[in-house]
Amino acid sequence: MAVITYRDALNMALREEMHRDDRVFLMGEEVAVYQGAYKVSKGLLQEFGEMRVVDTPITELGFAGVGVGAAMTGLRPIIEFMTWNFALLAIDQVVNAAAKMLYMSGGQFPMPIVFRGPNGAALQLGAQHSQAWESWLAHIPGLKVVAPATPYDAKGLLKAAIRDDNPVCFLEGEMLYNTKGEVPDTDYIIPLGKAEVKREGEHVTLVAHGKMVLVALQAAEQMAKDGIACEVVDLRTIRPMDVDTIVQSVKKTNRCVVVEEGWEVCGVGAQVVDYVQRHCFDFLDAPVLRVHQADAPMPYTKSLEKAAKPDLPKTIVAIRQVLYLD
Amino acid sequence: MEEGRLVKWVKNVGDVVKTGDTIGEVETDKAIMELVARGDGVLRAHLVPEGTTSPVGAIIGVIAAADEDISALTASAGPADAAPAEAAPTAVEAVPANSAPASEPPASEPSAAAATSTTPHDAGSVRSSPLARRLAAERGVNLSTVHGSGPGGRVIRRDIEASAASETPATAPATSATVSATVSASVSAAAPATTSTKSAPSVVPTAMQIEGEYQDIVLTQMRKTIARRLGESIGPIPTFYLTSEIDMTQVGTLRTQMAATGDQFKVSVNDIIIKAVAIGLTRHPEVNAHWLGDSIRYFRAAHVGMAVATDDGLIVPVIRDAQSKGLGDIGREAKDLAKRARERKLAPAEFSGGTFSVSNLGMFGIDQFTAIINPPEAAILAVGATDTKPVWDGTSFVPRQRMRVTLSCDHRIIDGAVGARFLQTLRQLLEAPLMMLY
């Protein structure tokens, strides 16, 4: 099986789905001639032509709206935001149009649209270009929110998102694009709404998504040296969240740490904690702890950014705390 | 044993104590033991009031130099670590006598734990994780008696597991050497010290006076233990029962003959039964055994337990090596053990380690009954009353002394034929007691 980058896995998914269904098209800034701001759409213009791979002006609200209209009238658009931070300018189309169209039209207007792009922090992108958007989006009924952590998941989930008839917000990551993993070149789908236990363990459950899955796996590897077996649950889909997998895991381990990119207040982790306390109350030996970004806009200074981000040492501290090890 | 109750403080706060002094009385599963000082100094603190039940290993008092700072041990909040240095105060712990079975449990750490807030909590104010609460409820552990090692004294899962792990089966199949090696010095010194200045309360059975419609009496440690242990017997043990009617006429003749040689040579029917049982067990070691779960332990010697009824309940002191003791020794020992059993003054070594038990309700006019096996033993013999009955001797009915015994057998260890053969031997020995000499 080939080992390819997350970026190439997404490229593969786009290519396969555009072949499979000629109503699927890609639209966004620099997706065509430039081959993609992050090269995710490399080679697609050459293969499918300018009616299927469409460059846009710098007008997120505009081209998101065009996508919504296209979806309402029978096409299956994939709208790329150069980063999800810029989607803030299109949020009305995402939340008020795309999310609510099927409902408000009484089922008359379909909305098989995918909004995708890198999400969260990278390195020194600054406060306005480092925000994690999953909790804003996951709040909205009518949207599906997906965050793959590995190349394998990226391809399977993007294909599933494109085939899903609902509006799907697909959250990638600049720092994930270069990560590598095994990806089959077959036509496979990972169902939306299903989490995956990336590593089994019996002492503590770590719940994470996106980049933080890699941090959680590192934490598990480190704790294993002390004989602590961490179970890592990769949410994969934020909305709808796979509560059963989380609950089953915490019932087994009796303790839980959530690792997430976003800020504390009303973050995705807060929702995970709610599910856990509600469904695993009699199984908890310790409060559920969260590891998240410091409550401040992301600093630009390298050292401050490092201090603000959730990372391996902070995760280890939380794990040790729920195990009453210190 | 998981918990003990401090019955009373004998030394007061401020009293000077020396190693070996009795400083209090603790009620264990079966008896009231003396709590003995294991260091010299001043009894600086009673950390629990009289009547409190504490888990094994909980710190219940402090002996220290008069001016020593003991605030770390008396602080009731937070897990302050009382890592004892050489000059550190001696924490008085509620240590049970038979504190460990032959294999030492790993959960002896709780005894080195920090000062526990042993002031009694009501259930509402005990801090505990939901999991700990559920486990405590499932295992019947009283949460307020468990030391919490979590932040703020929170009781967490490992605390519940530790309190369960320190449990000891009341009849640990330990040799006397193992038991005395693990018995803490304070308590082993207490056993002979029962002959100290304290006089035993006289125990006179009286009819219970019920006031009102009904009267609830909280279970004593002894009742709890009897209930728990025998509940563990009749449920899981596949038991069958063998009854045999034994002709006791010759035993009666033997007793008369022995008494005729002098008053000091009087023996009871019970003594003879115990001796016959012991000899039978050495001839049938398949019945002289313990169920160990994944193996059966067969014993060479017969350590026969005899059930004694006390005011508070049943206790089974053991006559060790009964097969090699004369009737006189058996008789004296049986009498002494029974007396001290009723006074709740038996040392744990004296009511554990039995390989077989005998229960006799003949004196109450019970013709026959089935006794419950004392786990992990293989069997128990229930002895009924001896009565004059007509017996066919081939030509006519003659009056004979007849006694019915019922052997309850654990079918995991003993099959029907095995048990029957043992009873056959027993009957032969009792019907012709001279054969005990063979």
User: What would the pLDDT profile of B136-160 be if each residue is shown by its tens digit?
Assistant: 988 888 888 888 888 888 999 999 9
Q: Is A129 an annotated catalytic residue?
A: yes
Closest chain B CA to residue A277: B130
Listed in sequence order, the residues at least 6 apart from B48 whose beta carbon sits closer than 8 Å to its beta carbon are B6, B54, B58, B60, B61, B118, B119, B120
- Tell me the per-residue pLDDT of A209-254, one tens digit each, with 9 for 90 and over: 999 999 999 999 999 999 999 999 999 999 999 999 999 999 999 9
Burial class (CB in 10 A: 0-12, 13-18, 19+), B28: buried
Query: What's the pLDDT at B145?
Result: 85
* Domain boundaries, given as residue ranges, for chain B: 3-193, 224-437
Query: What's the pLDDT at A230?
Result: 98
Mean pLDDT computed over every residue of chain A: 97
- Looking at residue A176, the DSSP 8-state letter turns out to be T
Q: Is B121 an annotated catalytic residue?
A: no
Which chain A residues are within 8 Å of B151, Cβ to Cβ?
324
Asked if the Cβ–Cβ distance from A281 to B130 is below 8 Å, we say: yes
CATH fold of A3-182, please?
Answer: Rossmann fold (3.40.50)
- Measured CA to CA, the distance from residue B207 to residue B213 in angstroms comes to 16
B241 pairs with which residues across the strands? B408
* Domain boundaries, given as residue ranges, for chain A: 3-182, 196-322
- Tell me the per-residue pLDDT of B7-56, one tens digit each, with 9 for 90 and over: 889 898 889 998 888 899 988 877 788 888 888 899 988 888 888 888 88
- Measured CA to CA, the distance from residue A202 to residue A228 in angstroms comes to 8
Q: What is the DSSP string of B350-381?
A: GGS--SEEEEE-GGGT-----PPP-TTBSEEE
Query: What's the pLDDT at B311?
Result: 82
Asked if the Cβ–Cβ distance from B134 to A285 is below 8 Å, we say: no
- Tell me the per-residue pLDDT of A138-195, one tens digit each, with 9 for 90 and over: 999 999 999 999 999 999 999 999 999 999 999 999 999 999 999 999 999 999 999 9
| CATH 3.30.559.10 correct for B224-437 | yes
Residues 152-211 of chain B with CB under 8 A from chain A are: 156-158
CATH fold of A196-322, please?
Answer: Rossmann fold (3.40.50)
CATH class given for the domain over B3-193: mainly beta
Query: What's the pLDDT at B75?
Result: 66
Q: Is pTM beyond 0.90 here?
A: no
- Looking at residue B189, the DSSP 8-state letter turns out to be H
Which chain B residues are within 8 Å of A281, Cβ to Cβ?
130
Using the Cβ of B150 and the Cβ atoms of chain A, whether some distance falls under 8 Å is answered with yes
Tell me if A71 sits within 8 A of A112, measured CB to CB: yes
Is beta strand A230-234 parallel, antiparallel or unpaired with respect to B90-93? unpaired
- Tell me the per-residue pLDDT of A24-53, one tens digit each, with 9 for 90 and over: 999 999 999 999 999 999 999 999 999 999
Quick check: B284 pLDDT over 50?
yes
What is the complex's ipTM, to 2 decimals? Answer: 0.74
- Tell me the per-residue pLDDT of B82-94, one tens digit each, with 9 for 90 and over: 333 444 445 555 4
**Alpha-carbon dihedral B56, B62, B68, B73, rounded to 10 degrees:** 40
**What value does the mean pLDDT take over residues A54-80?**
98
Tell me if B38 sits within 8 A of B19, measured CB to CB: yes
Tell me if B64 sits within 8 A of B384, measured CB to CB: no
Task: Count CA within 13 A, CB hemisphere, residue A196.
Answer: 18
Which chain B residues are within 8 Å of A284, Cβ to Cβ?
129-131
Count chain A–chain B contacts defined by CB atoms under 8 A.
27
Mean pLDDT computed over every residue of chain B: 79
Query: What's the pLDDT at B141?
Result: 86
B291 pairs with which residues across the strands? B296
**Alpha-carbon dihedral A194, A195, A197, A198, rounded to 10 degrees:** 110
Quick check: B189 pLDDT over 80?
no
Nearest residue to B113 via CA among B141, B88, B149: B149
Q: What is the DSSP string of B84-147?
A: --TTSPEEEE---TT---SSPPSTTGGGGS-----SPPPGGG--B-HHHHHHHHHHT--GGGSP
Nearest residue, CB atoms, A324 vs list B130, B133, B156:
B156
Using the Cβ of A253 and the Cβ atoms of chain B, whether some distance falls under 8 Å is answered with no
